[in-house]
Structure 1
Amino acid sequence: MKIVFPVLSLEMGGGARFIYHLANALVDKGHDIEVIMPEKGLQVWPLRAKLRRVKELTPSSIPSADFIIPNFYLTVKPAFESRNGLVVRLSLGYEPLWVPDSKIAKQSYLIGAPIMSISEWHRQLLFQQTGLQSTVISGGVDTSTFRPYPKPSEQTGIKKIFYIMRDPTSGYTWKGGSDFLKAVTRLKEQINFELTVSLPEGAQFSSPVLCRVKTSTTDQELAQLYAEADLFVYTSYFEAFGLPPLEAMACGTAVVTTDCGGNRDYASNGENCLLVPPSDIDQLSSAIYYLLTQDTERQRLAASGHLFAQAWSWQRTAAQVEAFLLSLK
């Protein structure tokens, strides 16, 4: 099949990473995949699919294909108006929850195109908000890259926490960064730990506790940050899926995550992670403290998460997308 993905950019962030992994996995399955992106769009993640740069994303810039798969509300209109293939909306998150022009974002779902959602929670949210049904395809993880590494704490005895701090000034106010900082501020008086913070947007960052600041630009760099930590913490209020906890599990690292919706498809409290309510600083702090101090339980959850993540491949995701597209023919 010829499949076109019109995108605004492939820069830092889970949505862009979802697209590049899916596009590459579809290429590996033998499909003709082309990504169309404006000249000013940034490409951070490597593509094995064709990449066509255009001056701007317009209907005339979309080539003919069997399927055109826009994934962000601003890419839907040019895809639909191109009339160059069957448009299938890939929703990586319900944009009216966070974008300023929520009315336009909602209208982008009401064009009559089939919709792919990325978790059961996400599917239910889309139905509640739009009355439209969608088909769930799962996120994945590249377990050849996201895998265990030796943990420095085995030599130093000092446990390491890893956190990805999204920039609230870039619109990421629902990621719970301030909640995490409040929690570790409490904990610094109770227990000795090392903190590593990744800044995908490269924003200015001031931490109340001593930390190492990193900007990971490749999956390999990100995987090493996950794997070297003893604990990964995730604090989003809502997510359509949420790749980072699953990636941390694949790296053999214990996870504390908020119950943010989409991660319910893979996050099981007490089995492969600890789940806490969003924005509950007390429970977040307690869960982090518990896993930093209870070695046997932390190692049990890490081992369980690592085993669980092995089945969640991008090849599985591509097979789900392929089957859905073929059902539309």
Structure 2
Amino acid sequence: MKISFLFHRPAMSGGARVVARYARMLKDRGHEVTLTGLGAPALSWKDRLKRLVVKVPEWREPMSHYTVEGLATNLIDGANALRAVDLPDADIVIATFWRTAEWMAALPPEKGEHVYFVQHHEAEFPHADRARAEETYRANSRIIAVSGWIIDVLKREYGRDDVALVLNAVDPILFAPRAPRTKNPRPTVGFMGSHNSTKRVDIAVRACEILREKFSDLRVRVLAASAPNGAYVMHDWFEPDYNPPQEKLAELYADCDAWLFTSDIEGYGLPLLEAMACGTPLVARPAGAAPDLVTPANGALVDSDDPSHIAEAAARLLSLDPAAWKEMSDAALTTARAHDWNDSFRRFEAALYAAADRNWRYREGSC
């Protein structure tokens, strides 16, 4: 098939990682795949005037998961939207973000059957135009969603009972413990830092403060794209890693006895699966895929936004004897290994064939 992906801008986000992985696997399978997104921003008249008198560095494509996967991208400079003229004719066109879904809706039939790959309920994003984003879920496109939570939202809010469920997977080479896991002599937890208020980093920070009252030698690892700059508290006893190389992520996850996941909302929440793939038990609020992944055997699901409840669950994990903790770590590994990219890809590709053949028979999250 000829498959055309629409993305907003090059990114190193978890969602972009999933799109890039499917694009590469489709290409490896023999499909003709193109990826088109926005490139250099349009220049205002002030910026153009400034370039006449001052040497300004040229815009360059930033590092993204598309380049990491070795994929070529077609970036349209100076544009605020993608148009039909920017895209090849195709069998399938795939929107990967609410704005790209708007662009897709305006495309003529020769650009492909419309598929909307939904990794979050993006109408709830703080920066989104909620009314416009909501309309994209009502549009006449086939939808592939990555979690049961999204399936439920699309059915409840938009009456969509025709959504295909394709759960995310984890790379067993990139995310795996480098040595057999054992409980740390010094209790260690980790969490993801973010400027996005829906990630509720404040809950994780406060939970760590409470934990430190019980475990005075507590270590806290923080994985973040950049420094908080006031978005949340970064104590001097926290150990941050800002935008570490991909190969260091497994080491960071595996350095923790428990991983805290405190988001209000998530489409999926890849850190859940990544931490488990490194043998790290979870303490998670029920957002994204957490209800599908977390069990009493591999972690703790805490249906509360009270940091003391998160801290209490984490304290129970940190207080386990080494043998009991090892059992929980092994259970986390087993859960992660059940989410295989080849299986997810098979389901994703099957959904694309169904769309191309106009034979879409998905009902209430079937896959």
Q: What is the TM-score with the length of structure 2 in the denominator?
A: 0.82
Matched residue SS, 1:284: helix
2:153 aligned to which of 113, 118, 125: 125
5 Å-filtered alignment, 1:83-162, equals: 83=108, 84-99=111-126, 100-133=128-161, 134-150=163-179, 157-162=185-190
Tell me the alpha carbon deviations over residues 124-158 of structure 1, each in whole angstroms, 9 at most, x when there is no partner: 1111111122111110100111001248986x721
5 Å-filtered alignment, 1:51-90, equals: 51-55=73-77, 56=79, 57-59=81-83, 60-83=85-108, 84-90=111-117
5 Å-filtered alignment, 1:206-221, equals: 206-208=233-235, 210-221=237-248
Give the gaps of 5 or more residues in structure 2. Answer: 41-60, 358-367
Matched residue SS, 1:109: helix
Counterpart Cα distance in 2 of 1:302 and 1:92: 27
Q: Which structure has the larger Rg?
A: 2
8 Å CA contact retained: 2:193, 2:228? no
Matched residue SS, 2:294: coil
1:233 aligned to which of 237, 260, 278: 260
Give the gaps of 5 or more residues in structure 1. Answer: none
Q: Look up the match of 2:332.
A: 305
Counterpart Cα distance in 1 of 2:227 and 2:236: 19
CA RMSD, 1 decimal: 2.0
Counterpart Cα distance in 2 of 1:48 and 1:82: 28
How big is the shift at 1:183? 0.8
Q: Structure 1 residues 273, 223: closer, same or farther in 2, change over 3 A? A: same
How big is the shift at 1:217? 4.2
8 Å CA contact retained: 2:210, 2:308? no
2:220 aligned to which of 183, 195, 200: 195
Moved more, 228-237 or 12-21: 12-21
Q: Structure 1 residues 272, 241: closer, same or farther in 2, change over 3 A? A: same
How big is the shift at 1:22? 2.0
Q: What is the TM-score with the length of structure 1 in the denominator?
A: 0.91
Counterpart Cα distance in 1 of 2:227 and 2:15: 17
Tell me the alpha carbon deviations over residues 204-262 of structure 1, each in whole angstroms, 9 at most, x when there is no partner: 26424601111234431222211222221111112221111111111111211111143
Counterpart Cα distance in 2 of 1:199 and 1:125: 28
Q: Structure 1 residues 79, 246: closer, same or farther in 2, change over 3 A? A: same
8 Å CA contact retained: 2:203, 2:305? yes
Counterpart Cα distance in 2 of 1:25 and 1:242: 21
Q: Look up the match of 2:199.
A: 175
How big is the shift at 1:319? 1.0
Counterpart Cα distance in 2 of 1:299 and 1:220: 24
Q: Which residue identity does 1:102 align to in structure 2?
A: R
2:313 aligned to which of 287, 290, 293: 287
Q: Which residue identity does 1:254 align to in structure 2?
A: P
8 Å CA contact retained: 1:73, 1:95? yes
Counterpart Cα distance in 2 of 1:218 and 1:25: 22
Q: Which residue identity does 1:65 align to in structure 2?
A: A
1:259 aligned to which of 279, 286, 289: 286
1:223 aligned to which of 234, 250, 270: 250
Matched residue SS, 2:348: helix
